[in-house]
Amino acid sequence: MADVLAFPVRAALTVAASIAAIAAFEAVNAARYNDQHTETASKMTGGNADHAPALFRRYGCAGCHTIPGIPGADGQAGAPLSGLSKRVYIAGVLQNTPDNLVAWIVSPHRFSPQTAMPETGISEQEARDLAAYLYSQ
């Protein structure tokens, strides 16, 4: 009788261990993918995505935009910045390239005089850091 009860317990433990192993594998692969994605975005833009969270707050981006991974960045005035790397256009006026994104962040009125996005005084390098972050998401 003990063997009859032991089999379901062993089977349940085996299933639980398999699920845990699969979850760990997926977590490691997701982390590796994110690291590679961030490295690629940094190479594309010449920026450092690690600097971006502080820059988003310093320049007020979080007040107007919803920005993935940035606590409190839930603004509704500007477009959400999630999935930016998959978009064809930036602000509907520029082809989505790293250089165009940097130029837009630095001087949006140069490309769209009526845009609500302000000229913040952000430097080109800081804009590259923001672009690296946005392309890594």
Report yes or no: 73 and 67 within 8 Å, Cβ to Cβ: yes
Domains: count for the chain = 1
Provide the whole-model pTM. 0.75
* Contact yes or no for 131/114 (Cβ under 8 A): no
What CATH number does residue 18 fall under? 1.10.760.10
The whole domain housing 119 covers 2-136
What pLDDT was estimated at residue 19? Answer: 73
pLDDT digits (tens, 9 = 90+) for 51-76: 999 999 999 999 999 999 999 999 99
